Structure 1
Amino acid sequence: MTTDITKTAATPAGDDASRTPLIRWIVTAGGLATVASTFTAWTYTDAFPGDLTVYGYPGGLQILTLVAGALVVLYGLASLGIKGLGWLAPTGTTKALWFFALGAFATTWFTTVAIAWQLGGLANLEPGAFAAAVASAVPLAAFALPDDTHKAKRPRELPSWAEILLIVAAFAVGMYVITYGIDTEYSELFTGYLITVGFAVAGLIKAGLTARLSGLTSKYRQVTVIAAFAAAIAFPFTQNTDTYTLIAVNILIFATVALGLNIVVGLAGLLDLGYVAFLGVGAYTAALVSGSTASAFDVQFPFWASVLTGAVVSLIFGVIIGAPTLRLRGDYLAIVTLGFGEIFRIAMGNLDGVSGPRITNGPNGVPNIPDLEFFGYNFGESHTVFGIELGAYANYYLLMLVAMALVIIVFSRAGSSRIGRAWVAIREDETAATAMGINGFRVKLIAFALGATLAGLAGTVQAHVQHTVVPEMYQFAGPVPPNSAFLLAAVILGGMGTVTGPLLGATLLYMIPAKLQFLQDYQLLGFGIALILLMRFRPEGLIANRRAQLEYHENDQLDVPDKGLTGSGVGITKAGA
Structure 2
Amino acid sequence: MTTQTTAADSPSPRKDKAPTGLLSIPEGPARALATGGGILTVISSFLAWTWTAAFPGDLTVYGYPGGLQWLVLISGALTTLYGLASYGVKGLRSLAPASADAALKFASLAAVATTWYTLFAISNTLGGLANLEPGGWIAGIATLAAFIGALALPFEPPHTYPVDSEDSGWEQFKHRTRNGLTIIKGAFAAEEPPIPRKLNSSVEILVIIAALALGLMVFTYGIGTEYDELFIGFLITVGFGFAALSKAGLVAQVSTYTARHRNVTLTGAFLAAAAFPFTQSDDQYATIGVYILIFATVALGLNIVVGLAGLLDLGYVAFLGVGAYAASMVSGAPTSPFDIHLPFWGAILVGAGASLVFGVLIGAPTLRLRGDYLAIVTLGFGEIFRLAANNSDGSSGPDITNGSNGISSIPNLKIFGFDFGIEHSILGQPIGRFANYFFLMLLITLVVVLVFRRSENSRIGRAWVAIREDETAALAMGINGFRVKLIAFALGASLAGLAGTVQAHVTYTVTPEQYQFANSVPPNSAFLLAAVVLGGMGTISGPLVGAALLYLIPNKLQFLGDYQLFAFGLALVLLMRFRPEGLIPNRRRQLEFHETELDPGETPPPTVLSKTGV
- 1:85 pairs with one of 92, 100, 108: 92
Determine which of 496, 499, 512 is the counterpart of 1:471.
512
| Aligned match of 2:38 | 31
Residue 337 of structure 1: how far off its partner (Å): 0.8
- Paired residues of 1:267 and 1:497 also in contact (CA < 8 A): yes
What is the CA–CA distance in structure 1 between the aligned matches of 2:322 and 2:517, rounded to whole Å?
15
Counterpart of 2:419 (choices 378, 383, 387) is 378
Q: What are the equivalent positions in structure 2 for 1:355-366 lying under 5 Å apart?
A: 355-366=396-407
Show CA shifts across 1:514-564 (max 9, x none): 111134534544444444434433322121112212333344479998699
- Range with bigger deviation, 190-199 or 436-445: 436-445
Letter in 2 for 1:142: A
**Which residue number in structure 2 is paired with residue 98 of structure 1?**
105
Pair 1:451 & 2:458 matched: no
Q: What are the within-5 Å matches in structure 2 for residues 18-417 of structure 1?
A: 19-140=26-147, 141-147=149-155, 149=158, 157-417=198-458
Partner AA of 1:98 in structure 2? K
Unaligned runs of 5+ in 1: 565-577
Distance 1:360 1:426, change over 3 A: same
Which of 474, 477, 482 pairs up with 1:436?
477
Cα deviations by residue, 1:25-48 (Å, 9 ceiling, x for unpaired): 221111111111111222223322
Measured after TM superposition, the shift of residue 8 of structure 1 is 4.0
Q: Secondary structure at the match of 2:537?
A: coil
**How far is the alpha carbon of 1:144 from its aligned partner?**
0.5
Q: How many residues matched?
A: 557
Q: In structure 1, how many angstroms separate the alpha carbons of the residues matched to 2:550 and 2:353? A: 29
TM-score, normalization: structure 1? 0.92
Distance verdict in 2 for CA 1:55–1:270, change over 3 Å: same
Q: Distance in 2 between matches of 1:159 and 1:103?
A: 33
> How much is the aligned-residue C-alpha RMSD, in angstroms?
2.3
Distance 2:195 2:447 in 1: 36
> What is the TM-score normalised by the length of structure 2?
0.87
CA deviations over 1:477-514 (Å, ceiling 9, x no partner): 00100000000011111111111111111111111111
1:43/1:336 CA distance change after superposition, 3 Å: same
The answer on whether the counterparts of 2:196 and 2:256 sit within 8 Å (CA) in structure 1 is no
Shift of 1:159: 3.0
Q: Distance in 2 between matches of 1:496 and 1:418?
A: 19
CA distance in 1, matches of 2:128, 2:599: 51
Change (3 A) 1:521 1:28: same
Cα distance in 2 for residues equivalent to 1:104 and 1:32: 11
Higher mean C-alpha deviation, range 367-376 or range 533-542: 533-542
Larger CA deviation: 371-380 vs 48-57? 48-57
Asked if structure 2 preserves the Cα contact closer than 8 Å seen for 1:345 and 1:472, the reply is yes
| Aligned-partner Cα distance in 2 for 1:505–1:205 | 17
Please tell me whether the aligned partners of residues 186 and 515 of structure 1 are also in contact (alpha carbons under 8 angstroms): no
> What secondary structure sits across from 1:41 in the alignment?
coil
Structure 2 portions without partners, runs of 5+ = 1-12, 159-189, 606-614
> How far, CA to CA, are the matches of 1:484 and 1:364 in structure 2?
22
CA distance in 2 between counterparts of 1:512 and 1:399 reads 24
Cα gap change, 1:89 to 1:504, in 2 (>3 Å)? same
Range that drifts further, 194-203 or 525-534: 525-534
Secondary structure class of the residue paired with 2:324: helix
2:5 aligned partner: none
Aligned in 2, Cα 1:520/1:339: closer, same or farther, shift over 3 Å? farther
Q: Percent of aligned positions with the same letter in both sequences?
A: 64
Q: Counterpart of 1:432 in 2: which secondary structure?
A: helix
Question: Is the contact between residue 479 and residue 520 of structure 1 (CA under 8 Å) also seen in structure 2?
Answer: no
For residues 116-142 of structure 1, the C-alpha deviation after alignment (integer angstroms, 9 at most, x for no partner) is 112222232222222211111111111
**Per the alignment, in what secondary structure is the counterpart of residue 517 of structure 2?**
coil
Task: Tell me by how many angstroms 1:392 deviates.
Answer: 1.1
SS state at 2:47 partner? coil
Residue of 584, 592, 595 corresponding to 1:543 = 584
Once residues 6 and 505 of structure 1 are traced to their aligned partners in structure 2, the CA distance between those partners, rounded to angstroms, is: 37
Q: Work out whether residues 479 and 523 of structure 1, in 8 Å CA contact, stay in contact via their aligned partners in 2.
A: no
1:423: how far off?
1.1
CA deviations 1:210-231 (Å, max 9, x no partner) are: 1111111111222111111111
